[in-house]
Amino acid sequence: MEYLKLDDSIKSSKNILIISHLNPDGDTLGSMLALRDLIYLNYKKKPEMMVISKIPKMYEFMDGLKDAKHLSKFDNSMVYDLVILVDVAALDRICDAKVFFEKAKIKAVIDHHKTNNYSSDIRFVESEASSTGEVLFRLAEDNNWKFNEKIAEALYAAILTDTGGFRHDNTSAVSLKIASKLVEFGAKPQWIYKNCYEMKSKNFVMFQAHCLNKAKFIDNDKIAYIIVYKKDIEKYESEDDLTEGLVEKLKIMDSTEVAFLLKEIDNKTFKVSMRSKNIDVSEVTSVFNGGGHKFAAGCVIKGSSESCAEKLIAEIKKQGL
Ligand code: AMP
Ligand code: MN
Ligand code: MN
């Protein structure tokens, strides 16, 4: 049984590292923190937590995350007994932290991306799960691990954010049952929701209004997209992740089949966030070495903004739009 293998590995490991993905979201951060605390509570071992990029302000309410260290603060020569990746769809999502995973005596992965295909010694990848938080909850139950309020809060935040507030198609009877159990363990739904979604700065709202004004609509408004430039993000400076939830705002239009956001990371390099109501957009992003889920996927693409948009639109149309 895979869960017993993880139990054995934790028992035999002196040092454990948990790694979350680039541009962290609530699922990777909540799962990382919950796993760290579960291992501490149940085995009296304190794994280290690694982030690849800055933790967005909206997740700072999970105060245990202040123990997470940036990749640059880790000693490259260190070999961990056990390295666990959480919510990491592909190894390039952990950038240079790959070396820690590759050198680890035991490699483990907990994830729910159907495009996850890298190898590891211990694997919990359930593509029908709403979130990595859900996979981790089942794993914890199978191991009879004890819970506390902080763990429940982190797992609830993971499931809440990856289901878009229990709205997306990954919201199942199972995910709601787990959420209910987490509330019994002490998670406070209204407080967690408020921290995640109702603590934005004025600049956040104004920036999103500015972006929505620039949205482009094609094919009878079936495809909608927004291009966000670095200079705009800098102009509206905010501690919030200014584009958080922006692509979903294009999806609320009844005509929208596919919505995407092109966010400039560097001159001629864009991060793509794509959402869909029917077609499988992970097939689109896979063409550009990305991945994700059927209705929510992403990749990084190079070129001028308009040529990137054109390439994406051509692939979307190949999927049957
Ligand atoms: P996002 O648009 O960043 O919220 O991502 C939507 C989904 O696509 C998430 O499940 C991500 O894990 C996945 N995803 C985003 N970017 C990439 C990428 N470069 N490679 C693989 N999967 C990605
Ligand atoms: Mn994620
Ligand atoms: Mn996830």
Domain regions of the chain by residue span = 2-197, 202-318
pLDDT at 148: 98
pLDDT digits 0-9 by tens, 153-162: 999 999 999 9
Closest CA to 26 of 300, 245, 177: 245
Q: Give the mean model confidence (pLDDT) for residues 19-40.
A: 98
Q: What CATH topology corresponds to 202-318?
A: Diaminopimelate Epimerase; Chain A, domain 1 (3.10.310)
Please provide the average confidence, as pLDDT, over all residues in the chain.
97
Residue with the nearest Cα to atom 17 of ligand 1? 298
Distance 116 CA to ligand 3 centre (A): 11
Distance 220 CA to ligand 2 centre (A): 31
* Pair of tokens at residue 189: 């739904």
If you classify domain 2-197 with CATH, what class do you get? alpha beta
pLDDT at 305 over 90: yes
Distance 24 CA to ligand 2 centre (A): 6
CB of 273 within 6 A of ligand 1: the answer is yes
d(CA 112, CA 245): 21
124 — pLDDT class (breaks 50, 70, 90)? very high
Q: Give the mean model confidence (pLDDT) for residues 155-183.
A: 97
d(CA 160, CA 165): 5
pLDDT at 238 over 90: no
Q: Is this model's pTM higher than 0.85 or not? A: yes
Distance 20 CA to ligand 2 centre (A): 8
CB of 176 within 6 A of ligand 1: the answer is no
pLDDT at 320: 87
pLDDT at 237: 85
pLDDT digits 0-9 by tens, 42-76: 999 999 999 999 999 999 999 999 999 999 999 99
pLDDT digits 0-9 by tens, 278-290: 999 999 999 999 9
Cα-Cα end-to-end distance for the chain: 43
* Pair of tokens at residue 81: 């007994």
Q: Would you mind telling me the total number of residues written for the chain in this entry?
A: 321
What is the percentage of the chain residues whose pLDDT exceeds 90? 95
Specify whether the CB–CB gap between 52 and 95 falls below 8 A: yes
CB of 299 within 6 A of ligand 1: the answer is yes
1 — pLDDT class (breaks 50, 70, 90)? confident
